[in-house]
Amino acid sequence: MLRIGIVGVGATVSIAHYHAQGYIDEEKRCRICGVYDINREAAEAWIISHGLDAKAVDSFDDLLDLVDAISICTPNAFHFQYAEKALARGVSVLVEKPLAMDVSECRVLADLARSGNAYSMVGMVYRYCSIVQKARKIIDERFSSIYTIDGHFGGKRLANPGNPLEWRMIRRRSGSGAIGDFGSHLVDVSYFLTGIRFDEVSCFSSTSIRERSFDGGTGAVENDDSAVMICRKGDTVASYAVSRIGMDDLRLLITGDAGMIEVSLRGKGELTYWEKDRDGGYTGRIEVLQADEDIPFDDWFRKEISSFIDGIEGKANQNASFDEAVYVEDILQRADGGECV
């Protein structure tokens, strides 16, 4: 049975909670035996709240002594140091996106993962939505060319200017803002569905709420609230809009030689496919598919965790590799810099 460690229990949004649910559901194959957080009291409370028979440890090294695999659920700035040390110790790693703060760090981790024996993956949770899986099957079976991709994704939690400054708004801890938080998923899901890796990027971004309350005063928001990216690979072009101050659930509209597919994760998710003859026009046939009985986030993370264990056990999976994470981070880093190449 695999021994699992959790790194980082969260202060605002607890991704670790979803990981715990997944591991608990896989009780025949694994168990959570150790938890590390820089706030030991928070780790102890988190263990109790999840009904776990696990130990809150004093250091990351202590955690690595206890486990075979870890989930890294910390703020972005700490992903690299924990993943690097774990892989060097032969401990398998699931890192919540992004893999690291910049492309150079991602490449170091990808090289380390290739040269070692431990299993590694990045948590790109939207790959595991049933509606995304259905869209991939249609594209694989019916499309030979992709013309355009249009997407948007964001959230509403930070639209309130009264929300205080948090780590997601500090560049040294988060990197980019909406570009990294939401753009990473749009770029990854697009790649997962079509297999296309863009090599040209242009981006406009803005910070609408420039100051937030912090430590009795105010602090500057250092990264983007919203952005629009344009990407190209050969004759395929894509546009992505992201915002953390007011935007809907993930949506992608993909066109190609076999028609048009819209993937929407609003609610439980829906896929609409407008059929086209490859050598002709649209047939008029429209296919609407509902998602399976997924509970958003809960079931997606359960599938992610199950697939992580599959990967450790050498079973077939559709997980995002560290090499794929390098590609995503390269696109995002160039977008964050406003690069047009």
> Which tens digits make up the pLDDT trace of 3-27?
999 999 987 668 999 999 999 999 9
> Residue 299: inside a domain, yes or no?
no
Considering the domain boundaries, does residue 114 fall inside one?
A: yes
What's the length of the chain? 341
Q: To 10 degrees, the CA torsion angle through 72, 251, 201, 96? A: 0
74 and 167 both lie in a single domain = no
* Statement to judge: residues 219 and 232 lie in one domain: yes
306 is a domain residue: no
Out of 106, 125, 144, pick the residue that ends a domain: 125
Q: In terms of domains, do 207 and 68 share one? A: no
Is the same domain home to 146 and 98?
no
pLDDT number for residue 14: 80
pLDDT, residue 341, reads 34
pLDDT for 180 equals 94
Domain hosting residue 160, numbered range: 126-293+320-336
**Number of neighbouring beta carbons within 10 Å of residue 107:** 18
Q: What is the 3-state secondary structure (H, E, C) of 292-324?
A: CCCCCCHHHHHHHHHHHHHHHCCCCCCCECHHH
CATH of the domain at 287: 3.30.360.10
- What SS3 class is residue 113? helix
Same domain for 153 and 187: yes
Q: How far apart are the C-alpha atoms of 158 and 176, rounded to whole Å?
A: 15
Do both 86 and 148 map to the same domain?
no
- Is residue 220 assigned to a domain? yes
pLDDT of residue 294: 87
- Per cent of the chain over pLDDT 70 is 98
33/54 Cα distance (integer angstroms): 4
pLDDT at 291 over 50: yes
User: pLDDT tens digits for 145-187?
Assistant: 999 999 999 999 999 999 999 999 999 999 999 999 999 999 9
Q: Are residues 237 and 198 in the same domain?
A: yes
**For residues 223 and 158, is the Cβ–Cβ distance under 8 A?**
no
Q: Distance between CA 132 and CA 277 in Å, rounded?
A: 23
Q: What is the pLDDT of residues 197-234, one digit of tens each?
A: 999 999 999 999 999 999 999 999 999 999 999 999 99
pTM of this structure: 0.94
- Residue 61 pLDDT greater than 50, yes or no: yes
Q: What's the pLDDT tens digit per position in 115-151?
A: 999 999 999 999 999 999 999 999 999 999 999 999 9
Domain count, the chain: 2
